[in-house]
Structure 1
Amino acid sequence: MTEVRVAVVVVVAFVGLLFVASRVVPGPVEQGAEGAGGVRARYRLNGLRLFLAAALAAAAAWIRFPTALTYPARHAGELFVAANAFAFVLATVLHVYGRRRHPGARGAGPLRGLVDYIRGVELNPQWWGVDLKMFSYRPSLIGLFLINVSFLATQYLDQGSVTARMALYQAFFFLYIANYFQFEGGMLHTWDILAERFGWMLVWGDYVLVPFFYSLPGRTLTGMREPLPPGSAVACTALFLGGFWLFRGANEQKHRFRRGRLRSVWGRPVETVGGSLLVSGFWGVGRKLNYTGEFLLYVSWTALCGTESVVPYTVLLFLAMLFAHRAHRDDRRCRAKYGPLWEEYCRRARFRMIPFLY
Structure 2
Amino acid sequence: MDRHRIPRTKELEFGGVLGTAVLIFLMPATVFCLLLTCRTEQASLFNLPLPLPSLRSLWNPQDFAVVLAWIGLQAVLSVLPMGKLTEGIALRDKSRLQYRINGSHAMGLSALLVGAGLAAGLRLSYIYDHFLQLAFSASLVAFGLSVLLYLKALLAPETALAPGGNSGNPIYDFFMGHELNPRLGGFDLKFFCELRPGLLGWALINMAMLVKETELRGSPSLAMILVNAFQLLYVVDAFWHEEAVLTTMDITHDGFGFMLAFGDLAWVPFLYSLQAYFLVTHPQQLSLPMAGGIILLNGMGYSIFRSANSQKNTFRRNPANPNVAGLRTIPTATGRRLLVSGWWGFVRHPNYLGDLIMAFAWSLPCGLTHILPYFYILYFTALLVHREARDERQCLRKYGLAWQEYCRRVPYRIFPYLY
User: TM-score, normalization: structure 1?
Assistant: 0.94
Report Cα offsets for 1:178-232 as digits up to 9, x if no partner. Answer: 0110000111111111001100111010011101111110111123443211221
- Structure 1 portions without partners, runs of 5+: none
CA contact (8 A) 1:87 1:204 kept: yes
For the pair 1:77 / 2:132, whether they are aligned, the reply is yes
1:236 to 277, 282, 294: 294
For the pair 1:96 / 2:151, whether they are aligned, the reply is yes
For the pair 1:318 / 2:379, whether they are aligned, the reply is yes
In the TM superposition, residue 292 of structure 1 has moved relative to its aligned partner by: 1.1
Judging changes above 3 Å, is the alpha-carbon distance between structure 1 residues 108 and 126 closer, same or farther for their aligned structure 2 residues? closer
Judging changes above 3 Å, is the alpha-carbon distance between structure 1 residues 279 and 152 closer, same or farther for their aligned structure 2 residues? same
Report Cα offsets for 1:253-301 as digits up to 9, x if no partner. Answer: 11111111553458x7122110521112100111111011111111111
Which range is displaced more, 317-326 or 30-39?
Answer: 30-39
Aligned twin of 1:202: 260
The residue type paired with residue 347 of structure 1 is R
Aligned twin of 2:328: 271
For the pair 1:335 / 2:393, whether they are aligned, the reply is no
CA contact (8 A) 1:256 1:262 kept: no
- Structure 2 portions without partners, runs of 5+: 1-55
Aligned twin of 2:99: 43
Report Cα offsets for 1:288-346 as digits up to 9, x if no partner. Answer: 11011111111111110002422111111111100111111111110111000001111
1:12 to 40, 64, 68: 68
Q: Partners of 2:167 and 2:283 in 1: how far apart?
A: 57
Secondary structure of 1:30 counterpart: strand
Q: Partners of 1:17 and 1:324 in 2: how far apart?
A: 35
CA contact (8 A) 2:314 2:321 kept: no
Q: Partners of 1:26 and 1:215 in 2: how far apart?
A: 29
CA contact (8 A) 2:124 2:208 kept: yes
Which range is displaced more, 51-60 or 154-163?
Answer: 51-60
Judging changes above 3 Å, is the alpha-carbon distance between structure 1 residues 293 and 107 closer, same or farther for their aligned structure 2 residues? closer
CA contact (8 A) 1:107 1:113 kept: no
Q: Partners of 1:154 and 1:334 in 2: how far apart?
A: 46
Q: Partners of 1:153 and 1:61 in 2: how far apart?
A: 14
The residue type paired with residue 332 of structure 1 is R
Q: Partners of 1:135 and 1:327 in 2: how far apart?
A: 24
CA contact (8 A) 1:236 1:303 kept: yes
Taking only aligned residues, the RMSD between alpha carbons, in angstroms, comes to: 1.9
Percent identical across equivalent pairs?
35
Aligned twin of 1:172: 230
Q: Partners of 2:126 and 2:359 in 1: how far apart?
A: 25
Q: Partners of 2:356 and 2:312 in 1: how far apart?
A: 18
CA contact (8 A) 2:139 2:265 kept: yes
Count of aligned residue pairs for this structure pair = 354
CA contact (8 A) 2:166 2:178 kept: no
Aligned twin of 2:350: 289
The residue type paired with residue 143 of structure 1 is G
Report Cα offsets for 1:87-106 as digits up to 9, x if no partner. Answer: 00000001001101237969
Secondary structure of 2:276 counterpart: helix
CA contact (8 A) 2:330 2:406 kept: yes
Query: Would you tell me which structure has more helix in proportion to its own residues?
Result: 1
Secondary structure of 2:89 counterpart: strand
Secondary structure of 2:97 counterpart: strand
Q: Partners of 1:107 and 1:131 in 2: how far apart?
A: 20
The residue type paired with residue 4 of structure 1 is N
Q: Partners of 1:249 and 1:147 in 2: how far apart?
A: 28
1:133 to 190, 195, 201: 190
In the TM superposition, residue 64 of structure 1 has moved relative to its aligned partner by: 4.4
Aligned twin of 1:345: 406
Secondary structure of 1:277 counterpart: strand
In the TM superposition, residue 108 of structure 1 has moved relative to its aligned partner by: 6.7
Q: Partners of 1:11 and 1:152 in 2: how far apart?
A: 20
The residue type paired with residue 131 of structure 2 is A
The residue type paired with residue 306 of structure 1 is G
The residue type paired with residue 341 of structure 1 is A
CA contact (8 A) 2:330 2:339 kept: yes
Judging changes above 3 Å, is the alpha-carbon distance between structure 1 residues 248 and 107 closer, same or farther for their aligned structure 2 residues? closer
The residue type paired with residue 20 of structure 1 is V
Aligned twin of 1:156: 214
Aligned twin of 1:357: 418
User: TM-score, normalization: structure 2?
Assistant: 0.81
Q: Partners of 1:101 and 1:93 in 2: how far apart?
A: 12
Q: Partners of 1:309 and 1:54 in 2: how far apart?
A: 34
In the TM superposition, residue 38 of structure 1 has moved relative to its aligned partner by: 1.2
Q: Partners of 1:201 and 1:102 in 2: how far apart?
A: 22
CA contact (8 A) 1:264 1:270 kept: no
